[in-house]
Amino acid sequence: MGIMKIDAYNYIKERQVLWAKRRDIPLQGSKGDRGYPAFTLNLRRNLFEPLLSEVKCQFQNADGKELGEDKTPSKMQAVYSSSALVCNVFHYWKSHKDLTPIAHACHIPQSNIQSLDFEAKLHIYDNIDRRRFPRDPNIDVLLTYSKGQLKAIGIESKFAEAYSNRKHDGLRPEYIKMEELWTNIYETYTLAKRISPEDSQFQYLHAAQLIKHILGLNHAYGKNGFRLIYLWYNVPFDDGYKHHLELERFTEIVQRDGIAFQANTYQEILLNLAERQQQTHPKYIDYIVDRYL
């Protein structure tokens, strides 16, 4: 057997495999008895706590098919799954009906939070032509607020996939042709045209996906009514630094349109949680620190 090349993607993947081994969690391949063993035997072993029925329905209704009932194992059973990571960090606070700690850790307003949902779908336009736009953007986490100018915060989460060799899709020309989508976000529109139909500008950042989230949030809540957070996992390789530089470039462009966009690393969020919540939520903190830091 050859020696695995430890690049950023495999670094994350292998750390998660080692976590499972430390916990005596059996692993299987992507096809069960075939493929590299990096999937838990059932979904429960890959999560800190079982999914609420409401959350399970949200994932089942999403386009990503993370639970993949017709496929064993599912995507979320991968120890390096981004959806498992986002559930392990955010689901706990939803199930405990206390969103203040996770909001504080994410540097977002903590008052008047109304709900936290996973895989939220937001239309980019009223009466959208489903032949041209068959699917709405699915954002990983959506927090809504009951009072004030801020109506919602969307969170897009990335783990190992940002460092894979898979090329990101660009923005389909249908988005560019629909000029009414871009009336108050001209700089973002200019960027969108540069990455349509192919994205040769960004290697790590899936800019087209973020732009679609901006369109959905902008339509639903207005430009001054939303914030978009990009939550990503940093790595001690050049890839981590290059990812950071792409984020800086994207942030500068969309902020020129007045879009409230911010980027945080998972490490920053988890350290913030650990510092403040160790005494009151020890089992949860021990789990996420041991697994993801």
pLDDT band at 1 (very low <50, low <70, confident <90, very high): very low
pLDDT band at 166 (very low <50, low <70, confident <90, very high): confident
Q: Residue 25: what pLDDT?
A: 98
- Would the pLDDT of 4 be above 70? no
* pLDDT, tens digit, 9 for 90 and up, residues 221-242: 999 999 999 999 999 999 999 9
- Would the pLDDT of 2 be above 60? no
Q: Residue 167: what pLDDT?
A: 85
CA atoms within 13 A on the CB side of 192: 24
* pLDDT, tens digit, 9 for 90 and up, residues 95-138: 999 999 999 999 999 999 999 999 999 999 998 888 999 999 99
Average pLDDT of span 69-87: 91
Q: Long-range contact list for 56-60, CB < 8 A, 24+ apart?
A: 58/117, 58/118, 58/119, 58/120, 59/83, 59/118, 59/119
* pLDDT, tens digit, 9 for 90 and up, residues 15-67: 999 999 999 999 999 888 888 999 999 999 999 999 999 999 999 999 988 99
| CA distances (Å), origin 286, targets 78, 102, 172, 281, 290 | 20, 16, 43, 9, 6
The answer to whether the beta carbons of residues 32 and 73 sit under 8 Å apart is yes
- Find tokens 């059973």 and name the residue: 77
Q: What is the 3-state secondary structure (H, E, C) of 153-214?
A: EEEEEECHHHHCCCCCCCCCHHHHHCHHHHCCCHHHHHHHHHCCCCCCCCCCCCHHHHHHHH
Give the span between the Cα atoms of 275 and 282, in whole angstroms: 11
* pLDDT, tens digit, 9 for 90 and up, residues 186-220: 999 999 999 999 999 999 999 999 999 999 999 99
Render 70-137 in DSSP notation, one character per residue. Answer: TSSS-GGGBTT-HHHHHHHHHHHHHHTT--HHHHHHTTS--TTEEEEEEEEE--SSTT--TTT--S--
Residue 205's closest CA among 151, 181, 169, 253?
A: 169
The answer to whether the beta carbons of residues 132 and 174 sit under 8 Å apart is yes
Give the 3-state secondary structure of residue 29: strand
Give the span between the Cα atoms of 157 and 232, in whole angstroms: 6
Full-prediction pTM beyond 0.85?
Answer: yes
Q: Residue 70: what pLDDT?
A: 66
* Two tokens, residue 155: 């969170």
Residue 120's closest CA among 52, 61, 186, 77?
A: 61
